[in-house]
Structure 1
Amino acid sequence: MTSVAPPAPRERILQAALTLLEQGGVEAVSTRAVSAAADVQPPTIYRQFGDMQGLLNAVASAGFGSYLRDKVARSGVGTRDPVEVLREGWDRHVEFGLTHPHLYTLMYGRLRPGEESPAAREAAAMLRALLGRVAEAGRLAVGVDRAAAMIHASAVGVTLTLLGAQERDRGLAERMREATLGAILTPEGGTTGNATQQQAAAHAVALIALLPGLAAPFSEAERQLLLEWLGRLT
Structure 2
Amino acid sequence: MGPVRLEAITWERLGNLLAERLLDLKPDDGSPWPRIAFDGAPAARPGELAHRVSEALRIRGRSSLVVGTEGFLRPASLRLEYGHQDVEAYYDGWFDTSALWREVFGPLEAGGNGRVLPDLWDPATDRATRSSSVQLPPGGLLLLHGSLLLRHWFPFDLSVHVLLSPGALHRRTPEAEHWTLPAFERYENEVDPGVTADVLVRADDPRRPAWNG
Q: TM-score, normalised by structure 1?
A: 0.24
Which structure has the bigger radius of gyration?
A: 1
Instruction: Indicate the structure with greater helix content.
Output: 1
Q: Which has the higher contact order (CA 8 A, sep 6+)?
A: 2
Higher percent of residues as strand: 2
